[in-house]
Amino acid sequence: MSTTVPVKAQNVAAEKPNPEFVQLLNAEGTRLSDDTYDPWVSDVTGDQLASLYEDLIIVRRIDTEATALQRQGELGLWPPLFGQEAAQVGSARTLRPDDFVFSSYRENAVAYCRGVALQDLVRVWRGTAASGWDPFSVGMATPAVIIGAQTLHATGYAVGCKNDGVDSVAVAYFGDGATSEGDVSEAMIFAASFNAPVIFFCQNNQWAISEPVGLQAQRPIAERAPGFGIPSIRVDGNDVLAVMAATRSALDRARNGGGPTFIEAVTYRRGPHTTSDDPSRYVDPVVAKEWEARDPIARVEAFLRSEGILTDELAASIQSRADQVAAEFRHGCISLQNPEPLSVFDNVYATEHSGIARQKSQYKAYLEGFEK
Amino acid sequence: MTELTLAKALGSGLRRALSDDEKVVLLGEDIGKLGGVFRVTDGLQRDFGTERVMDTPLAEAGIIGMAVGLAFRGYRPVCEIQFDGFIYPGFDQIVAQVAKLHYRTAGNVRMPLTIRVPYGGGIGAVEHHSESPEAYFAHTAGLRVVTCSTPQDAHSMLREAIASDDPVLFFEPKRRYWTKGDVDEDAVGLPMGTARVVVEGTDVTLVTYGPLVATALDAAEAAANEGISVEVVDLRSLSPVDFDTVSASVQKTGRLVITHEASESGGLGAEIAATLTDRCFYYLEAAPVRITGFDVPYPPAKLEEHFLPDLDRILDGVDRALGRVNSLTGWSA
């Protein structure tokens, strides 16, 4: 049975760099020049690139560990970001503390870069809390699970920043599937109407669970934003340097009153949507192999080695640091305690609601009826 | 004390809220130069500017979702949904985001949104312009749901809703927009979440809210002419319902009639009947009676008089509660 849905149209540009597709570090680790985007990363030293490389290694290690924890029954679910490390680290590392992120549930590397504690990354997935962290302490809202809802929140926050006269920027992270949701289109309309300092950061990881991006978009997703009056950039999402350059240019535009920018980071989700699904049912192994060759970490490693920055000794020390983070992460996860029963009633409202108060006191009396 | 229509009382409440707190912002379709299709926001954009009174693109999810982001930033947004039937495109943002963010973030993020919704029928409107969707929101934890019935309540309850740190669905009875009454802009109203006994009585408790409070008062007066003493309770708050006030009344009268415009099944009346049966079982002389809209879509304007509970249908319900001859007399249960 054939399908009328084009499933490969979105991969093409990743194979052929062109002026509309920003790439500064190709899959082989060769530094490419780009007149427009080079200036945005001209200050990035070899050591700083090595630091980004360490981030990539660590977030992948966290991801691997979380997947293992799920398999061992310690987490109810986990949404892996395997393959998307550069898109998340490259963008998140360019933000200021006073910028604010509104993400989906897959941006664990963004959360790590924002300073979210390791233990806090898994509270939701272990089921011990409705959210992991205080949004205001890290400048990142707790993830939205309803697809695309957060793009509107980012737009509203950005309008607030503008009205407050500050140059903070809101960043909305979402996937290619989210671009089919009405909320994302509405967010772009509102952002354009109010010239909001917001960045729409779309990680086109080619999949919405099992549905290929071709089912969501007949043209490259970055082409959609100009129709809303929003300039867009299509960037190699597996190139941490290019992502950084694209995000910096968008941040600069937003901070200087230029309004919203749409970034499409073309990447690939190399694992499942979550630990519940089975990509072998829908992924073509040949295509998966092609994307393996475009891995975001391998190219930085090749570049750093060719420059003599990454030595075996440094690589070993980074690996050791990643192992240490993974151990801390595991310990943090399994030491999480179940919440108290009556806390189910907490924080439904900011002020007392007589209906909740009544149910709470009744359930408390009921629990107290059991012998300790 | 000034005599104002209910619509003007809402406008004066918004004006005071904008003056008192610079973090209050209004957003909605046509609320600027036009002043809203019911003119509730008349003159506010002129006086407070386009950053505080924002005309938005035509998109309900956009309005609510953007308000969520503004609330993250410390603002107290007041959204206007143009008509009851248009709230559904914004439903996800209200029930999945606005309602849950405080809980989801362990209390770290507050959602002090007020969502104003002109609701209910009786104005001869076309479809989607006469609905009563309050039960959807009263069913959702995390939202407060209120409705007013007098110009004074309209003014003070709206100010209270805007000052609330919880999200409030504020349902405005659109067929009462032109009802006039005295408004004291400095009066402190009843606390949010409390019902009000409008008329005291001893034979039957008649519970209602919003647009039907006036109809219920007419019914109570007509009943009095027949020697029946009806106590009328205006709920004001639909989440939470002030069951203490309703229970006290039912314990006194022993009979309960509930009336609302919304359809019967799964409506507020069912919730009130069930809870009062639980709380006042041994006081009740008869089963609670519901007089509501039917379980049909809101009908065309020329049929709405049959859909909407009116004085006679309410009196028929009072007769049922009293075991007098009524429309169901002769029916077997």
A354 in contact with chain B, both atoms CB, cutoff 8 A: yes
- Beta bridge partners, A328, equal none
Query: In this complex, do B141 and A193 lie within 8 Å of one another by their Cβ atoms?
Result: no
- Cα-flanking dihedrals φ and ψ of residue B328, to 5°? -100, 0
Which pTM value belongs to this model? 0.95
Q: Across chain B, what does the average pLDDT equal? A: 97
Kindly list the structural domains of chain B, giving each domain's residue range(s) and its CATH number in brackets, ordered by start. 2-183 (3.40.50.970), 196-321 (3.40.50.920)
Q: How far apart are CA B43 and CA B34, in angstroms?
A: 9
Q: Best residue in B66, B76, B190, B236 to probe A by mutation, most A CBs within 10 Å?
A: B66
What are the chain B neighbours of A347 within 8 Å (beta carbons)?
102-103, 105-107
Residues across chain B: 333
What are the chain A neighbours of B74 within 8 Å (beta carbons)?
160
pLDDT surpasses 60 at A5:
no
Give the one of A152, A347, A348 whose C-beta lies nearest to B68's C-beta. Answer: A152
The confidence score (pLDDT) of residue B329 equals 84
**Closest alpha carbon to A196 in A257, A261, A259:** A259
Min Cα distance A322 → chain B (Å) is 29
- Please say whether the dihedral angle defined by the alpha carbons of residues A234, A238, A244 and A247, taken in this order, is positive or negative: positive
Q: What is the mean pLDDT of residues A272-287?
A: 95
Q: How far apart are CA B118 and CA B83, in angstroms?
A: 5
Instruction: Confirm whether A331 is a catalytic residue.
Output: no
Instruction: Mention every residue, 6+ apart, whose C-beta is less than 8 A from residue A15.
Output: none
**A106, A270, A273, A299: which one is catalytic?**
A273
What are the chain A neighbours of B71 within 8 Å (beta carbons)?
156
Read off the pLDDT of residues B272-322 as tens digits, 9 standing for 90 and up. 999 999 999 999 999 999 999 999 999 999 999 999 999 999 999 999 999
Query: In this complex, do A130 and B239 lie within 8 Å of one another by their Cβ atoms?
Result: no
Report residue B211's pLDDT band, with 50, 70 and 90 as the boundaries.
very high
Q: Best residue in B48, B68, B160, B239 to probe A by mutation, most A CBs within 10 Å?
A: B68
Query: Tokens 């867009």 belong to which residue?
Result: A232
The confidence score (pLDDT) of residue B328 equals 87
Read off the pLDDT of residues B23-72 as tens digits, 9 standing for 90 and up. 999 999 999 999 999 999 999 999 999 999 999 999 999 999 999 999 99
Distance of CA A195 to the CA centre of its chain: 24
pLDDT surpasses 90 at A244:
yes
The answer to whether B241 and A358 are in contact (CB under 8 A) is no
Give the one of A149, A153, A190 whose C-beta lies nearest to B56's C-beta. Answer: A190
The confidence score (pLDDT) of residue B332 equals 53
Q: What is the mean pLDDT of residues B205-223?
A: 98
Read off the pLDDT of residues A172-211 as tens digits, 9 standing for 90 and up. 999 999 999 999 999 999 999 999 999 999 999 999 999 9
- Beta bridge partners, A175, equal A203
Give the one of A160, A193, A355 whose C-beta lies nearest to B70's C-beta. Answer: A160
Query: Tokens 């989607």 belong to which residue?
Result: B128
The confidence score (pLDDT) of residue A254 equals 98
Give the one of A146, A153, A355 whose C-beta lies nearest to B72's C-beta. Answer: A153
- For residues B236 and A372, the model is more confident at B236
CB pairs A-B closer than 8 Å? 148
The DSSP line for A206-237 is SEETTEEHHHH-SS-GGGHHHHTT--EEEEET
How many secondary structure helices (H) and strands (E) does chain B include? Answer: 12, 14
Instruction: Mention every residue, 6+ apart, whose C-beta is less than 8 A from residue A1.
Output: none
Query: In this complex, do A349 and B59 lie within 8 Å of one another by their Cβ atoms?
Result: no
Query: In this complex, do A347 and B107 lie within 8 Å of one another by their Cβ atoms?
Result: yes
Min Cα distance A348 → chain B (Å) is 5
A166 in contact with chain B, both atoms CB, cutoff 8 A: no
- What one-character DSSP code corresponds to residue A31? B
A346 in contact with chain B, both atoms CB, cutoff 8 A: yes
The DSSP line for A149-189 is HHHHHHHHHHHHHHHHT----EEEEEETGGGGSHHHHHHHH
Q: How far apart are CA A241 and CA A164, in angstroms?
A: 32
Instruction: Confirm whether A153 is a catalytic residue.
Output: no
Report residue B251's pLDDT band, with 50, 70 and 90 as the boundaries.
very high
Give contacts of A 72-101 with B, CB under 8 A. Answer: 100
Q: How far apart are CA A207 and CA A219, in angstroms?
A: 15
Query: In this complex, do B65 and A159 lie within 8 Å of one another by their Cβ atoms?
Result: no
- Cα-flanking dihedrals φ and ψ of residue B226, to 5°? -100, 10
Residues across chain A: 372
What are the chain A neighbours of B271 within 8 Å (beta carbons)?
none
Q: How far apart are CA A309 and CA A328, in angstroms?
A: 28
Read off the pLDDT of residues A6-32 as tens digits, 9 standing for 90 and up. 334 444 444 444 437 999 999 999 999
DSSP β-ladder status, B53-55 and B24-28: parallel
Could you tell me if the ipTM is greater than 0.90?
yes
A228 in contact with chain B, both atoms CB, cutoff 8 A: no
Dihedral class, residue A268 (left if φ above 0, else alpha if ψ from -120 to 50, else beta): beta
What are the chain A neighbours of B89 within 8 Å (beta carbons)?
182
Residue percentage of chain B with pLDDT more than 70? 99
Query: In this complex, do A149 and B92 lie within 8 Å of one another by their Cβ atoms?
Result: yes
Residue percentage of chain A with pLDDT more than 70? 95
H or E stretch covering B239: strand B237-239
The confidence score (pLDDT) of residue A12 equals 45
